[in-house]
Structure 1
Amino acid sequence: MKKIDEVKYLSTENTDRYRPIMRYFYLQHERLRQFISPEELFDYLSEIPQFKTYNMGALNQDLEQLTQWGNLKRRQDVGNISKIEDFKKKQFRYRCTPYTVEIERMVIALEKLGDTFGGSLEKTYIEKILSALVKLLKRSEKDGKINFAAINMSNSDLFGVWSELQDNFKKLTENATDYIAHIDDYLESENIEQNYTGSEYLKKKNELVQYLRNFMLALQRTTFRIEDMLSGIPKWFISAVAEKLADYYLKTPRAVQPDKDDLINDYLQQWEILRHSNFSKVNQKV
């Protein structure tokens, strides 16, 4: 694995300057504004008290450093050039790179997280997983051959259902594991009963028990049906689905297209993770 230079701006000598700069670029990216001029950025930073003594020379140095780390990509600004001398000065506009976008999203999520686990036990996730599987795995028989609904779907419809399935599976597992960790921390905290009066503690306990019970009932209604649907699926089916998904993904024009075989392997791996997830263990853990 390569080292990730793009995270250096989060913890280094000039982090107090780099982080506001990168947050601004990220916010502009989210607003579909790609290449930003240093002048616009400087005007924004000038409104922040810690940048009162900041100047364009320091900003250009910071932009150069962030570009070297791979946080920014630049292109020459030729919009206002009227003379050859201006062109030779090579004024640039900048945008954040894909790595940096994901880093900023992670940092924002961490800022919201605080010092405790979050998560929840949302029964709707498992119901949506079942619904997506029904759409994909509904069987029909013709001329003695068994077929699945996913094979007859358009690639676009298949991609939509697959994305729905994977998204809800990810939300279920992440939220459930985080919530269980949150409850473990809560129950193991010192003097938990002293933080509430007798009636308040009993009310909190009953609310927790009822919340867990509702989730377990939803799991029990769907868990074994999901596991039964996931078992016995022939390899040719998931291979065909993975190829259809890869074909659809590759239809979108991109500067650099991934290899089709790599995409197929990614989709096959997603299926294997889902197939071996063992939903009944989630039920037992709760």
Structure 2
Amino acid sequence: MGKVPNIHSLRSVPELKYINADNVTRYRAIMRFLYGEYLRLNYWLKSEDVYEGIMSWNLNLNYTLEQCQIDLDQLVEWGNLSSRHDGGKAVTVDEYLRKKYQYLLTPYSIEIERLLESLENVRGYGGSLEPTLFDTIADCLIRVRKNAGEYEADEARDIWNTLYGSFQTLHEASVDYIASLQTNMAEDLMVTDAFLLYKDSITRYLQDFIQALQRRSYRIEGNFEQITPGVKELFIQAVLKDEWRIPKMEVTITQEQYYEQLLEKWEGIYRWFVGGDDYLSEMSLLERATKEAIVKIVRCAVRIQERKSSGISRKKELDYLGQWFYRLEDVELAHTLAAYVFGMFPTRHLLGVDRRESDSQEESMWEQPPIEKTLRSRSRKKQDRQDGQNPIMDKTMRKNNLRKIYIEQHKQEYKFLKSMVGLKNVEISNLERITTSTRIQILQWISRCLNSPKWSLETPEGVRIQMEQPESKERTTMQCEDGDLELLNYSFTFSVINQSAWEQMLHWVEE
């Protein structure tokens, strides 16, 4: 989590205007020359020195000293340069009052030029995985824990600079290296045959880093847990004291602000290695990203090898395998060999009518008669058209037979319902041996009543069926022609609520 900005840090940055100004080439040339002289310890420069230095580069700028003076004044206005009056070597008063100035880079401009110089050398994410930095960080934490607030002059500051510098290098370099594996250039390399030459070295490099991280990170976490808040406070105060012992001509930050920065950086290191209750540590995320990179590299290598081996003829292997099958005399051994060689075959779902001759579970499927299924040819060749057309089959007799069976089945159900209405109150234990269709009918009544809030249902024939559950949870056995069924001894109450529908049903049953 980054530092929370304040209002001052969110201001506009006029010092960056010269990077994209109209005369950007001239401004960049002035700033680069002044930055080069700054590195040579030449700080205050005259406009003539700046102009001569730029023209010595032979940039063909078509530049004059007056234009250079105007550009220098503009850079002063943007805050990139500081100026002071140059009164040296003036013979007359007029020369002294002629507004000759010397120019110096501001701290903002120095950092901007450093950034631009480093950006010119960027050729990718770069980065590296340095497992030795874990030991350096752990050693610094051990020194903080063992010293317990007792430090010699500048010792605490050296420990802090080593600790934070190592952490910053570890974090930035590792993140940049993992990001370099996700670039388009890396993606393109991972699909070529040349990637196989790098696969082993990259994988070994990542695995070594993972192992070092897993072995050495516990030292860091353990030392963080053993450093008490009091020891941490004494260490930070010692760092603050060492820093303020250095004489500074320009004081841009107070001790309280520097103290808050130290606390924030310490908490940042702690969160990176230890994490919190609601989130994982950055170290865990780095470990996960490194493992995912290893998996990605291995998959790409396997894919390349499979693509290379796909065009190799396996005629000799298949011929040897065929002879091996031919020499086997036992079909079980052949099944075993096929399982080892081919594994599971891709499944195909074929729909057919299962005409099992027995319901025995002990009977194997191989002992059942086969189901014939006609497969349509998938050939792209145009099939020959049949000369004649298939006649429409007359299924009237089959329909009539099915209709008679359906009517007879419903009449049996209605007759059973009629007998129940005549009895009015019936318990399952009072029923005699019943048919399969009657059993299904009773189970449908039970299911519909259980799904009803009032435990009742109304049939299309105008009959209300009210079901009640026995209070003692008494169970009974319902005897059926296809077996016995044990269930609760439900009781049913039948009443006619629609007389006309009921009479129509009776008349239809008696026909």
Tell me if both proteins adopt one fold, taking TM over 0.5 as the criterion: yes
Q: Is the 8 A contact 1:21 1:41 kept in 2?
A: yes
One-letter code of the match for 2:25? D
Name the residue aligned to 2:196. 202
How far did 1:187 drift? 7.7
Greater relative contact order: 1 or 2 (C-alpha under 8 angstroms, separation 6 or more)? 1
Name the residue aligned to 2:90. 81
Q: Distance in 2 between matches of 1:36 and 1:210?
A: 54
Q: 2:162 aligns with which of 161, 164, 176?
A: 164
Q: Distance in 2 between matches of 1:74 and 1:38?
A: 11
TM-score by length of 1: 0.88
Within a 5 Å distance, the mapping from 1:62-141 to structure 2 comes to: 62-114=71-123, 116-138=124-146
One-letter code of the match for 2:190? I
Q: Distance in 1 between matches of 2:168 and 2:44?
A: 33
How far did 1:12 drift? 1.3
Name the residue aligned to 2:29. 20
CA deviations over 1:24-48 (Å, ceiling 9, x no partner):
1112222222111212211111123
Name the residue aligned to 1:143. none
Name the residue aligned to 1:243. 237
Pair 1:39-2:39 in alignment: no
Name the residue aligned to 1:173. 171
Q: 2:209 aligns with which of 215, 220, 226?
A: 215
Q: 1:274 aligns with which of 243, 258, 269?
A: 269
How far did 1:95 drift? 1.2
How far did 1:168 drift? 0.9
RMSD of aligned C-alpha atoms? 1.9
One-letter code of the match for 1:183? L
Name the residue aligned to 1:283. 287
- What SS is found at the alignment partner of 1:94? strand
Structure 1 residues 186 and 133 mapped into 2: Cα distance closer, same or farther (>3 Å)? Answer: farther
How far did 1:263 drift? 0.9
Within a 5 Å distance, the mapping from 1:39-58 to structure 2 comes to: 39-58=48-67
CA deviations over 1:166-208 (Å, ceiling 9, x no partner):
11100110010011000122586246333xx4xx422201110
Structure 1 residues 54 and 150 mapped into 2: Cα distance closer, same or farther (>3 Å)? Answer: farther
- What SS is found at the alignment partner of 2:149? helix
Structure 1 residues 186 and 119 mapped into 2: Cα distance closer, same or farther (>3 Å)? Answer: farther
Q: Distance in 2 between matches of 1:22 and 1:134?
A: 45
Structure 1 residues 17 and 72 mapped into 2: Cα distance closer, same or farther (>3 Å)? Answer: same
Q: Distance in 1 between matches of 2:190 and 2:229?
A: 51
Name the residue aligned to 2:373. none
Q: Distance in 1 between matches of 2:185 and 2:116?
A: 28
Name the residue aligned to 1:144. none
Instruction: Give 4+ residue runs of structure 1 displaced > 4 Å after superposition.
Output: none
Rg larger for: 2
Structure 1 residues 167 and 191 mapped into 2: Cα distance closer, same or farther (>3 Å)? Answer: closer
Q: Is the 8 A contact 2:189 2:195 kept in 1?
A: no
Q: Distance in 2 between matches of 1:21 and 1:187?
A: 36
TM-score by length of 2: 0.51
Name the residue aligned to 1:3. 12
Q: Distance in 2 between matches of 1:280 and 1:155?
A: 36
Q: Distance in 2 between matches of 1:267 and 1:82?
A: 54
Higher helix proportion, which one? 1
Q: Distance in 2 between matches of 1:238 and 1:82?
A: 63
- In structure 2, runs of 5+ residues without a counterpart are 1-9, 274-282, 291-511
- What SS is found at the alignment partner of 1:113? coil
Q: Distance in 2 between matches of 1:253 and 1:26?
A: 22
Q: Distance in 2 between matches of 1:224 and 1:171?
A: 19
How many equivalent residue pairs?
A: 271
Q: Is the 8 A contact 1:231 1:275 kept in 2?
A: no
Q: 1:193 aligns with which of 174, 191, 194?
A: 191
